[in-house]
Structure 1
Amino acid sequence: MMQYQGLDNKFFIKLPEGVSINLVPAGIVVRSCAYLYDFFIRVIVFGLVAAILSFLGDAGQGLILIAYFIITWGYYIAFEAKSGTTPGKKRFNLKVVQDNGLPATLSNIIIRNLLRPADAFPFGYCLGIATMSFNKSYKRIGDWSAGTLVIYQENNVGTLLNSENTSQEEPPKIELAIDEQQAVIEFSERCKKLSPARQEELANILSEALNVKDESATNKLKSMANFYLGQKI
């Protein structure tokens, strides 16, 4: 269930298991770049296949049409069903997931791709771009129908954050509100850019509540962040 959306367009979702994750939907520009990347790959592959089949005469013409169908419809379904991403999406660090952040299923992938003609109507993906422009998750018609979302991969379920020096496995003893859990997660994410002294300085703000100080406070906050993201640490 979606609980929070910050100014940075980050969706904060609480799963039925009680863990919380955050997802950052990919915008129109980066998804367009990924599409063009995939488009050129498909053009090159189809061009090579068509050049080879053209030597077969009339039979080759029929095979070219079959190859066009397979490449057009099978490219996205095959790649996204395997890993949730295509070469283009992988190049721009994107991935297709379900609305709840879990990996997309084969049925999700098939539905979102079979509805590409609707998004392309009347030309140049005009309807799809218009639909994406009017919702904060940048979902096209295919995504709405399939219950999918295109996100940046580093925010997907299962991302391990700063797990070094963390060994706590039980749930945190401190009960935090959703926005407070997000603050802990963001602290853990930013630790890579902070010096150890700065990390401890920020963690010590909560030293009384955590009942520890300095490095121990830092490690405890990182451990809590991993728990909220569903990590077993």
Structure 2
Amino acid sequence: MPPTALPSYSRAPLSSEQPSAAPLDTRFHVETPEAIDLVLRPAGLVPRALAFSIDLAIRGAALGVTYLVLGLLGQFGMGLATILLFLVTWWYMVLFEVLNQGRSPGKQMLGLRVVHDDGTPIGWAASLTRNLLRFVDILPFGYTLGILSCLNHSAFKRLGDMAAGTLVVYRDTPPARPNLPQAEAARAPFALNLAEQRAMLGFAERAEGLSSARRAELAAIIAEPLQVPAELAERRIHGIAHGLLGPT
């Protein structure tokens, strides 16, 4: 009886023809009208909800105190309170976003701001559009449409942001300049190229995060070129770093 032939299975080769999933990215790359590339970090649903809750609490507290005061004026006071309620409800966010670099108090506490899609500061028309359309995002209740929109958009936009062409992003703060150890400014005994200058500055900037033994080990490596004893090399490097930076 002839042996039964085993079926052969062909495996598709791994090639570039097979589509690969796009990598996850929380960065939003834009090009400004001045042809400058910006990298923005869109804010997700949770920080945006927290910022909105803070703003809601501020408005509620302000209106509560105002109602108590205006209530003493009778019907005239209640009429003023109604007008104030309208102004606060629809203009609180707009005024802060336009006049405070896209930041309401809640956004400012969370380190967020609103910008146009191209990274430029938000204007009156865009701010009015995104805030007037909150009545759509709030449908059918509890910001259901707004939440679903944020969760399904790559840049976490709600419907108001889509219509206004705006984006809520994290406000990046410039990194703090590291403190250099105290030392008298000095010049290197030889001309330093760019890489050597960066090495000197890098050593001085990282000195606080290194142990004394590690600093002494690294400084001893270049003690001879600096023409100083190994135990004085670290202080010499700090002096050269101050000399490179100049007066600050």
**TM above 0.5, one fold?**
yes
User: 1:104 — aligned with what?
Assistant: 122
User: 1:90 — aligned with what?
Assistant: 108
Pick one of 39, 60, 74 that aligns with 1:57.
74
CA separation in 2, counterparts of 1:22 and 1:53? 48
Deviations 1:180-213 (A, max 9, x none): xxxxxxxxxxxx7xxxxxxxxxxxxxxxxxx953
Matches within 5 A, 1:129-144: 129-144=147-162
CA displacement at 1:75 relative to structure 2: 0.8
Which amino acid in the other structure matches residue 104 of structure 2?
Answer: T
CA displacement at 1:107 relative to structure 2: 1.1
CA separation in 2, counterparts of 1:213 and 1:72? 57
User: 1:44 — aligned with what?
Assistant: 61
Q: Which structure shows the higher helix fraction? A: 1
Identical amino acids, percent of aligned pairs: 39
CA separation in 1, counterparts of 2:40 and 2:23? 11
Which amino acid in the other structure matches residue 167 of structure 2?
Answer: L
CA displacement at 1:78 relative to structure 2: 1.1
What is the TM-score with the length of structure 1 in the denominator? 0.65
CA-based RMSD of the aligned residues comes to: 2.4
| Change in 2 beyond 3 A, CA 1:152/1:218 | farther
Q: Determine which structure has more spread, i.e. the larger CA radius of gyration.
A: 2
Give the number of the structure with larger relative contact order, counting CA–CA contacts within 8 Å between residues 6 or more apart: 1
| Change in 2 beyond 3 A, CA 1:23/1:73 | same
Unaligned runs of 5+ in 1: 165-191, 193-210, 220-233
CA displacement at 1:216 relative to structure 2: 4.6
| Change in 2 beyond 3 A, CA 1:137/1:26 | same
Residue 92 of structure 2 corresponds to residue 75 of structure 1: yes
Give the secondary-structure state (helix, strand or coil) at the position aligned to 1:102: coil
Give the secondary-structure state (helix, strand or coil) at the position aligned to 1:213: helix
Give the secondary-structure state (helix, strand or coil) at the position aligned to 1:149: strand
Matches within 5 A, 1:162-201: none
Residue 42 of structure 2 corresponds to residue 20 of structure 1: no
CA separation in 2, counterparts of 1:33 and 1:122? 21
Which amino acid in the other structure matches residue 73 of structure 2?
Answer: L
CA displacement at 1:55 relative to structure 2: 1.2
Which amino acid in the other structure matches residue 100 of structure 1?
Answer: D
Which amino acid in the other structure matches residue 213 of structure 1?
Answer: A
CA separation in 1, counterparts of 2:59 and 2:38? 34
User: 2:188 — aligned with what?
Assistant: none
Unaligned runs of 5+ in 2: 1-21, 179-192, 202-248
CA separation in 2, counterparts of 1:68 and 1:151? 29
Give the secondary-structure state (helix, strand or coil) at the position aligned to 1:21: strand
CA separation in 2, counterparts of 1:218 and 1:143? 47
Which amino acid in the other structure matches residue 149 of structure 1?
Answer: L
Pick one of 195, 199, 202 that aligns with 1:213.
195
What is the TM-score with the length of structure 2 in the denominator? 0.61
Q: Contact 2:30/2:117 (CA < 8 Å) preserved in 1? A: no
CA separation in 1, counterparts of 2:26 and 2:32? 19
Pick one of 114, 131, 137 that aligns with 1:113.
131
CA separation in 1, counterparts of 2:108 and 2:58? 13
CA separation in 1, counterparts of 2:74 and 2:83? 15
